[in-house]
Amino acid sequence: MFGTQIPQVTPAELPEGALLLDVREDDEWAAGHAPDAVHLPMMEIPARLAEVPKEDPVVVICRVGGRSARVVAYLQGQGWDNVVNLDGGMQAWASAGRPVVDGNAQPGTVI
């Protein structure tokens, strides 16, 4: 699919101190996201590359893992070697019992 293997982790394998980079659209983010995630919509990544750390681990997340895998492949192509995809995305995150909050820090839902 991508020509190279996309590194992936599950919610249980999330590296200590990793930045969780949520690349979903604004409405998806507002409905429910991981409390400590940073929101950077997929289509804005090329213009906002400077906001993606190159040193610390970065775990990219979307709804089910497709968009985030494409973002990981793109970032790797731009020289990032510290990025991995969250396998199963926010659906796997929520299914693993991890917290999901909305834009008001109240319990959220994955859409």
Q: Is residue 110 part of a domain?
A: no
Q: What is the total count of domains within the chain?
A: 1
Please name the residue ranges forming H helices in 17-108: 26-31, 66-77, 89-95
Q: Is 83 helix (H, G, I), strand (E, B) or coil?
A: strand
Along the 111 residues of the chain, how does pLDDT read in single tens digits?
445 689 999 999 998 899 999 999 999 999 999 999 999 999 999 999 999 999 999 999 999 999 999 999 999 999 999 999 999 999 999 999 999 999 898 999 999
Q: Is residue 64 part of a domain?
A: yes
CB 37 within 8 A of CB 21: yes
Q: Is residue 31 part of a domain?
A: yes
- Nearest Cα to 93, choosing from 31, 12, 23, 16? 12
pLDDT in the model for residue 4: 62
CATH assignment at residue 34: 3.40.250.10
Q: Is residue 70 part of a domain?
A: yes
Q: Is residue 106 part of a domain?
A: no
CB 88 within 8 A of CB 62: no
> Which residues are known catalytic residues?
62
Alpha-carbon gap, residue 59 to 83, rounded angstroms? 6
